[in-house]
Structure 1
Amino acid sequence: MTKTNDPTPGDRRTEVRPANQRGAARLAAVQALYQLELGGGDIVSVVSEFEAFRLGKELDGVEYRQADAAWFRDIVAGVVGEQRTIDPLVHTALVEDWPLKRVDATLRAILRCGTYELLRRPDVPGKVIITEYIDVARAFFTDDEPKLVNGVLDRLAHEIRPDEFPAEAAR
């Protein structure tokens, strides 16, 4: 697995589809959840820091895209608030010998965000959610991680949204 040393997308950004404001919010939510998990701190401080210094701003030479702040807050708060529901779902969608706790922290944040949206954002088509988080994974990883995100979120989408993902379409 090849990943940048921090949860800031690297030079590969030019290969990734340009993010809209919700896409930028998703990317920032993954970064904020990574920061919460590894750096500690509380959700209010981390969200406030992102809104004040990152969303649509430049920080340490990195220019962050303008993001839908409400969408960002919803994802971060939703993942933190529903992690006890989200983590078992993600864990069961992973390969049997690869528990969630062994997954890279950035990848874990991506899977948690995608699962949250599949669960709580019925206003967004599941295929859109999956595609957006594959793009987020491509911003951070150069190997097979985007395929893993696709596989895990697709399995969960079939389970969580059976009307959108009929059983006969399941792999």
Structure 2
Amino acid sequence: MSQNDGTGQKPQPGKKAPSGKTLARRQARTLAMQALYSWHMAGQSLNEIEAQFRVDNDFAAVDGAYFHEILHGVPRQKTEIDGAFESLLDRPLEEIDPVELSILRLSTYELKNRIDIPYRVVINEGIELAKVFGATDGHKFVNGVLDKLAPRLRADEVRANKR
């Protein structure tokens, strides 16, 4: 009988399954990315989007405070967030797939504001979101941008990890 970590993925050999807090954060990120996508596409108010997501989804296993922080933090810092990765793009910002753009904004927010989350975790979570929700090779694009962005936003942590 194989274990499942609640994300539909089997834990890798030698790695323990994610804890409840980790899964609750992952769920918060997943819903926040979808909510940011809705905000980007429909231009609805954040409060309306949040209320709808809380009605439509079971938040029992979701870090609701983290969902709220991301959903409101990304739009508040949108200009600064977009500016952080725009020079790393291979095309204009307007041509980025809206799903991948939402993932890049969420991940950049975490890199900038949540130093309690290791940069490698932020990158991995962004890649996993892109694998599930993005275009066929969207995860490669997200990985490439975040790999270049991490040393800019987390220089000391990246240097320490390379030692």
Per the normalisation by structure 2, the TM-score is 0.82
Taking a change above 3 Å as real, the CA distance of residues 167 and 128 of structure 1, as seen in their structure-2 partners, is: closer
Matches within 5 A, 1:130-169: 130-141=123-134, 143-166=136-159
Summarize deviations over 1:10-34 as a string: whole Å, max 9, x none. xxx7468788111111111111011
Taking a change above 3 Å as real, the CA distance of residues 31 and 161 of structure 1, as seen in their structure-2 partners, is: same
* Equivalent residue number for residue 67 of structure 1: 62
Matches within 5 A, 1:78-89: 78-89=73-84
How many Å separate the matches in 2 of 1:137 and 1:72? 18
Amino acid at match of 2:70: I
* Equivalent residue number for residue 77 of structure 1: 72
Matches within 5 A, 1:57-136: 66-95=61-90, 98-136=91-129
How many Å separate the matches in 2 of 1:153 and 1:34? 19
Stretches of structure 2 that go unaligned for 5 or more consecutive residues are 1-6, 12-17
SS at match of 2:105: helix
Taking a change above 3 Å as real, the CA distance of residues 16 and 137 of structure 1, as seen in their structure-2 partners, is: farther
Specify which structure has the higher proportion of helix: 2
- Post-superposition offset of 1:167: 9.6
Taking a change above 3 Å as real, the CA distance of residues 100 and 55 of structure 1, as seen in their structure-2 partners, is: farther
How many Å separate the matches in 2 of 1:16 and 1:87? 34
SS at match of 1:127: helix
CA contact (8 A) 2:28 2:64 kept: yes
Amino acid at match of 2:45: D
Q: Percent identity?
A: 36
- Post-superposition offset of 1:144: 1.5
Taking a change above 3 Å as real, the CA distance of residues 112 and 128 of structure 1, as seen in their structure-2 partners, is: same
Q: Which of 13, 35, 39 pairs up with 1:36? A: 39
- Post-superposition offset of 1:91: 1.0
CA contact (8 A) 1:118 1:157 kept: yes
Amino acid at match of 1:88: G
Does structure 1 residue 23 correspond to structure 2 residue 26?
A: yes
Which structure would you say has the larger RCO, counting Cα contacts within 8 Å and 6 or more residues apart? 1
Summarize deviations over 1:36-86 as a string: whole Å, max 9, x none. 1112210111112112222448xxxxxxxx311111111111101000101
Stretches of structure 1 that go unaligned for 5 or more consecutive residues are 1-12, 58-65
Amino acid at match of 1:81: R
Corresponding residue pairs, total: 147
